[in-house]
Structure formats: structure tokens, C-alpha cells
Amino acid sequence: MYALVDGNNFYVSCERVFRPSLQGRPVIVLSNNDGCAIARSNEAKDLGIKMGAPWFQIRHLEKTEGLVALSANFTLYGDMSDRIMTLAAGLGPTQEIYSIDESFIGLHGVRGDLTRRAHIIRDRILRWTGIPCGIGIAPTKTLAKLANFIAKTAERKPGSYPEHLARVCNLAALSQRELEAILGATDVGEVWGVGPRIAAQLREGGIQTVLDLARMYTATVRRRWNVTLERTVREVQGFPCIDMDDVPAPKQQIACTRSFGRPVTDLAPLMEAVSEFASRAAEKLRKQNSQAGALQVFMHTSPHRAGQQLSRSVTVPLRRPTADSRLLAKAAADGMRFMYVPGFQLIKAGVFLMDLQPASVQQGELELEPEEGRDRTRLMAAMDALNGRFGKGTLHVGSTGMPGAQRTWGMRQERRTPQYTTRWDDVPVARA
Ligand SMILES: [Mg+2]
């Protein structure tokens, strides 16, 4: 049995924790520089704002609908992510982090009422961090993901699903009849691993709902499509058959994750591994002509072994978006050094590249700097070390101007909220 814990409109929720005035208002978070919506509050979704909508096409809503647009604050999101992951881990004996706000929790051997337990964890995450989550529980990861979708939809659109499935949806606790009614009311395109193209093909073949998909013959699926879809169908039927190593990377992320040949305990090989993963991911990044603004590193112990479990992740914001393998590898190694805890038998680690944007975006800014082919590796290393220790922007290139309020160019400074949880100067002060 698995649970999928997933933050609701995660980036927006992080912003709302420190600016409660944003509650109930349409809020979006923009990707750096290129200005597309990468997170939307429910109110913003209700305005019809699509994921990835360019800012210039929707900015009129600022005046007409009171839309609030913020620049992405990955330092804040990464830190909040770490907090919700730590609390989510309390749900079961194992945890696999899937993205910045999603993790699968293995519930093997957990006794008692799982639904109630999930509600307790959800309430705890909300109370301790301010982030609302949805939790889906089911016998397979694909169904847990679907259950999570149902939990969120039932909460957001009353009447779409039975009310008792809102926030926490445990498909395993339903009667066969109730389960079939729910799967029959859910579009086949909502299934994890069924992309828009395959969904269209399925619909053409008369497979409209998840229930239709669950009733397909796996042999037919393999013959007409492929083994990957066959596995998805088996998962929807309730037979676990996917490992985290072969699941698709979440949208807006490039992932490189591996299980190790044998458990690793020492820091040095772990740093090596994640550096390597980051360079692989960087290759994919360059292939699609993108650059990344932040990187997340994670590691965990084996879900299948006895002994103390550990699952940690850390998000490393990059000084500037890059597709440079060296910079990304270094960031990954730094992240690993930061979160490393000795004494655990780690069996898996990985790197996610986030805040993806077109590689062309930075051109204008890059020209400001004297780049005459000189090797500035050592200079950059010294700069990064100082900035890492004393705060972003402590040492910076003169032509980029003074950081802070004086800097007026670009969206980033204009719309980004403070680093509430990671920078002393930005820690909010409570007044009586
Ligand atoms: Mg989410």
C-alpha cells in the first residue's frame, strides 16, 4: 500500500504562509525571466489561467481581477519542501521523494486506520508549516497518484466526487461498487503515465474513463501500444509493478536518479554520484536548449531493509540559470554535503533540475559581463563560496548593479518575496 502526499498549488501555498493577505486571491508564480505561470492558486485556475500561460497575455488581469503575480522564490520553496517531506515521512516506514512537493510513502506493515492516520499527518503538515496537502492512498503508486488527484478535486470542486474523499482519499477503503463509480467518473487522461497523445488514442478506441482502462486486456494493451502502458494498466488494476526508477519525470523537471549497486554510507562517493547525475541531467537540459534555475538533490535508504530509515532532500538555488555541467555538478555536490548524515546505508540518490527556462533568455544579461574566454573557474568558486556563506549577492559582478531594492531591472527582484526561512535578514518578525 502506498500514499502520495502532494502539496496543493505548492509554490503559491509557500508564498501564502508568509503573506496571509494572499489567501482567497488569485495568485500565480512566474518562472524567472521568461514570465510564464508555473503555479496557480485555485482562484487563478478559476480565472482560466493555464499552466505555462505567458505573463504578457494575462497581465491585464492584475487590474481587472486583482491577480497577484510573484517571481519564483526557489530558496523558500526548497526549504518548505524539506519541512513537509520530513513531516510526511511520519506516515509510514519508507519515503520516496518524487518532486519538490510530492513523495510516496510506503505503508507496508502500518496497522490501524490508514485514512485516519493520513488525516492526522495532513493536519500536522498544515498546522506546522501552513502548507495544505492532498493525500491519496491505494495499493499501487499509479492509483495512489490518482487518489491524490481525487482528494484534491473533491476539495476544490465540491460535488465532483463524494465529499468524504476530499483532502484524503483512500481507494483501498472503498467498496468495489463505490470504487468503480469513482473510476468510472474519472477521465482516462488523468492517469499517471497516460499522456495526451495516448489518451486521445484510447478515447478513439472507446476507452473514456479510468474504469474502462482498468477493464482492458493487458495483452491487447501490449500489442496495440507498449509494455509501459501495459504496466500502467496493471497498476490501475491494483497490481504493483512500477519502480520509482522507471516512472516519468514530473513536468517542468529534468531528473536523473539511480539506485546504487550496493548501499553507500560515505560522503565522498555520494558527492561523486550526485555530481555525475547532475552532469547527465545537464546534458538532457542542453539537448532541449534549456537552462535550470535551481537543483534539488535527494537520497534515501532502502525501503525494503530493516533498520533506521533516512530520506532527505535539499534544494540548491543557482546564482543564475545555467546549463553548465560543472556548475550543476558542483551545486549537487554542495547539496549532498549539506544534507549528508553519516551512518546510513543509502541505496538511492538523485538530482532534479527545476525552474527550467529557454537557454536564450539570459543572453542580454550575459553580454554585460566581460567573458573573453578566460578561465574564471577559481574566481567563480571563490565568489560562490562567499555568497554561499554570507548570502546571495554579497559578492557580485559590478555590471549587474546593487542587489536589493535599488535594482530595478527584471522581474526577479521586482516580484520575489523575501527568503523568509533561510536568511537571517528576511526572517519575519512577529509583533504583539
Ligand atoms: Mg503539488
Q: Is residue 132 part of a domain?
A: no
Distance 134 CA to ligand 1 centre (A): 8
Distance 8 CA to ligand 1 centre (A): 5
Query: What's the angle, vertex CA 8, arms to CA 172 and CA 78, rounded to 5?
Result: 115
Confidence bin at 247 (pLDDT 50/70/90): low
Q: pTM for this structure?
A: 0.73
Q: Is residue 299 part of a domain?
A: yes
pLDDT, tens only, 35-94:
789 999 999 999 999 988 989 899 999 999 999 999 888 888 888 998 999 899 999 988
Cβ(34)–Cβ(27) below 8 Å? no
Average pLDDT, the chain: 85
Q: Is residue 258 part of a domain?
A: yes
Distance 152 CA to ligand 1 centre (A): 10
Distance 323 CA to ligand 1 centre (A): 25
Distance 215 CA to ligand 1 centre (A): 29
Distance 133 CA to ligand 1 centre (A): 8
Q: Is residue 412 part of a domain?
A: no
Instruction: Read off φ and ψ for residue 97, nearest 5 degrees.
Output: -80, 125
Distance 380 CA to ligand 1 centre (A): 35
CB atoms within 10 A of CB 24: 11
Looking at the structure of the chain, the number of domains it has is 1
Q: Is residue 245 part of a domain?
A: no
Residue 363 has pLDDT above 50, yes or no: no
Q: Residue 313 maps to which CATH number?
A: 3.30.1490.100
Residue 401 has pLDDT above 80, yes or no: no
Reference 77, options 430, 424, 416; nearest CA is: 416
Q: Is residue 241 part of a domain?
A: no
**Cell numbers of 296, please?**
534539488
Q: Is residue 39 part of a domain?
A: no
pLDDT, tens only, 198-222:
999 999 999 999 999 999 999 999 9
Average pLDDT over residues 371-399: 62
The domain of 386 spans: 254-359+374-400
Distance 431 CA to ligand 1 centre (A): 32
Average pLDDT over residues 369-391: 62
**Cell numbers of 390, please?**
554570507
Q: Is residue 343 part of a domain?
A: yes
Block residue for cell numbers 535551481: 294
Distance 219 CA to ligand 1 centre (A): 34
pLDDT, tens only, 271-313:
989 998 898 888 888 877 888 988 999 998 877 677 788 888 8
Distance 231 CA to ligand 1 centre (A): 24
